[in-house]
Amino acid sequence: MIAVTCRNGEHFDLDPDAIERVEAGGDTTVILDDGTKFVIGQSIDELVLIVRDHRAAAVSARRSLDGPLPRPGYVPGRPRMAARTPELVQD
């Protein structure tokens, strides 16, 4: 959910995934996928930044829950090969 402000100063939350489109004709109007319209105090640019930050935080949270990304060449279930160290040649 993202927090937005009505023109009258009232704060409320919107589901950013439910936003179908946004119109700006003096006021910023958010139209949801069910046809509900909200006139908000934020500009389109501000709304885009709010939604972007919300989605970035969600991606970051998912990655932290999933753990680190696998190493290149990693195949689950395949035994790891021990690294070979070159032997020193003595003269």
Domain that holds residue 33: 2-66
CATH (domain of 16): 2.40.50
Question: Does residue 74 belong to any structural domain of this protein?
Answer: no
Question: Does residue 47 belong to any structural domain of this protein?
Answer: yes
Round to whole Å and give the CA distance between 1 and 16: 6
Residue type, 40: I
Question: Does residue 86 belong to any structural domain of this protein?
Answer: no
Question: Does residue 72 belong to any structural domain of this protein?
Answer: no
Question: Does residue 40 belong to any structural domain of this protein?
Answer: yes
Question: Does residue 24 belong to any structural domain of this protein?
Answer: yes
When divided into structural domains, the chain yields a total of: 1
Q: What is the mean pLDDT of each run of 10 residues along the chain (91 residues)?
A: 91 95 93 95 95 92 75 68 59 53
Residue 7 phi/psi, 5° resolution? -60, -30
